[in-house]
């Protein structure tokens, strides 16, 4: 999943969709996916933070 979350907009949309479902366990998993995606992007380009 982290490979598809390649921009702040994609991350926001993904979290919005998960929040709309209202399932706490899915939200926790989604937050983990976003954190991994953010970390992956920042390792590729440390000077370009995706989320301040």
pLDDT, one tens digit per residue, over 21-34 is: 878 999 999 999 99
pTM for this entry: 0.77
pLDDT per residue as tens, the chain (52 positions): 778 899 999 999 999 999 998 789 999 999 999 999 999 888 887 665 655 5
Listed by start position, the domains of the chain span: 2-44
Q: What percent of the chain has pLDDT over 70?
A: 87
Cα(22)–Cα(4) distance, integer angstroms: 22
> What CA–CA distance (Å, rounded) separates 19 from 27?
7
pLDDT at 31: 96
């Amino acid at each position: 999943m982290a490979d598809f979350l390649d921009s702040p907009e994609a991350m926001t949309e993904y979290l919005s969709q998960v929040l709309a479902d209202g399932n706490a366990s899915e939200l926790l998993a989604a937050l983990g996916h976003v954190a991994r995606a953010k970390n992956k992007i920042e390792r590729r380009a440390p000077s370009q933070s995706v989320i301040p």
